[in-house]
């Protein structure tokens, strides 16, 4: 098994010459629980938008996305139907760096962006996909779409909808959750509890046990049976078993456990 932490450091150095302004290195000092949301049914996946202090929770069986603010129901987006705000097969959700909510409809082969009040802002067709089953929003206006029929991750430009490149074939068989930041794309298979890590350009970096996520400073975070672990610092939070998919938005993690979503803040300290 490859040492992901060492590879991340190497990648960070190599990518430092990119056009994006270099950020100061920051370590995760701790994980802090600051909010818990409860629902009347099991949640498949959730995100918390720290910019607008809004939580989004996906219930794929009902084709719905619950929207909460300050613990109160703000809106429900979706439901079965053919209208612009409805879904035929709600496969996945994510939020962009600007707080915009994206939803993937695998039957209609499109990726839609919504405002928090449920207004449809844009629709991107995914006609070149066979079975879009998961996605992630990376840096530089890039969407990574997992096509389960082709067993490939496809990079799309969010600005004009053009396909850029494909990767992951023969390296990934299933994806339960796809995550991305400016430099990394992680394909997590919940059945095997394995994360496959790629660069943002599609090069295979390594494979590791547990769900791996990367924050904006390229700190690797691992969700294991023992709890949350920062792979770049001593930060650790013990957790009981039973958690589902973990998501990240800016400096916030959202952990699904049945009908509950627990929201954790990443606390940082400057690297000496």
pLDDT in tens, 43-96: 999 999 999 999 999 999 999 999 999 888 889 999 887 777 899 999 999 999
Mean pLDDT, the chain, whole residue set: 90
Q: Which residue has the higher pLDDT, 15 or 183?
A: 183
Task: Note the pLDDT of residue 24.
Answer: 56
pLDDT at res. 30: 97
Is residue 147 scored above 90 in pLDDT?
A: yes
Quote the pLDDT of residue 253.
Answer: 98
pLDDT value, residue 265: 97
For the chain, the 3-state helix, strand and coil shares in percent, each to the nearest 5, are: 5, 50, 40
End-to-end CA separation in angstroms for the chain: 29
Higher pLDDT, 71 or 195: 195
Residue 12 has pLDDT above 50, yes or no: no
pLDDT over 60 (residue 14): no
- pLDDT tens-digit series, residues 107-135: 999 999 998 778 899 999 999 999 999 99
What pLDDT does 121 receive? 94
pLDDT of 40 strictly over 90: no
Compute CA distances 33 → 130, 223, 235, 238, 251, whole Å. Answer: 39, 15, 14, 12, 12
How does DSSP assign 53-78, residue by residue?
TEEEEEEGGGTEEEEEETTEEEEEEE
pLDDT at 259 over 50: yes
Structure tokens at 8: 């991340």
The pLDDT assigned to 10 comes to 44
Q: Which of 183, 178, 177, 98 is nearest to 139 (CA)?
A: 183
What is the rounded distance in angstroms from the CA atom of residue 122 to the CA atom of residue 137? Answer: 15
pLDDT: which is higher, 83 or 171: 171
- CA 47 to chain centroid, in Å, comes to 8
Query: What share of the chain has pLDDT > 90, as a percent?
Result: 75
- Report d(CA 83, CA 197) in Å as an integer: 37
Render pLDDT for 209-239 as a digit per residue (tens, 0 to 9). 999 999 999 999 999 988 999 999 999 999 9
pLDDT at residue 17, as a whole number: 43
pLDDT of residue 33: 95
């Amino acid at each position: 098994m490859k040492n992901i932490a060492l590879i991340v450091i190497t990648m960070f150095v190599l990518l430092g010459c990119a056009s994006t302004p270099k950020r100061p290195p920051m370590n995760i000092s701790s994980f802090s629980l600051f909010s818990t949301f409860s629902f009347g049914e099991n949640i498949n996946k959730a995100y918390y938008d720290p910019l607008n202090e809004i939580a989004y929770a996906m219930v794929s069986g009902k084709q719905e996305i619950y929207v909460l603010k300050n613990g109160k129901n703000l809106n429900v987006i979706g439901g079965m139907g053919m209208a612009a705000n409805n879904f035929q097969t709600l496969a996945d959700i994510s939020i962009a760096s600007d707080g915009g909510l994206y939803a993937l409809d695998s039957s209609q082969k499109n990726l839609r962006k919504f405002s928090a009040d449920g207004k449809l802002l844009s629709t991107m067709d995914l006609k070149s996909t066979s079975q879009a089953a998961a996605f992630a929003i990376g840096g530089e206006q890039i969407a990574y779409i997992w096509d389960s029929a082709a067993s490939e991750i496809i990079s799309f430009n969010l600005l004009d909808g053009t396909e850029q490149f494909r990767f992951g074939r023969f390296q990934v068989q299933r994806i339960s959750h796809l995550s991305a930041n400016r430099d990394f794309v992680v394909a997590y298979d919940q059945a095997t509890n394995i994360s496959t890590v790629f660069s943002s350009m599609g090069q295979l970096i390594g494979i590791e046990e547990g769900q791996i996520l990367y924050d904006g400073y390229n700190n690797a975070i691992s969700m294991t049976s023992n709890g949350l672990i920062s792979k770049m610092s001593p930060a650790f939070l013990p957790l009981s078993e039973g958690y589902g998919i973990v998501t990240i938005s800016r400096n916030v993690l959202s952990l699904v456990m049945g009908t509950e979503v627990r929201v954790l803040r990443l606390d940082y300290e400057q690297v000496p």
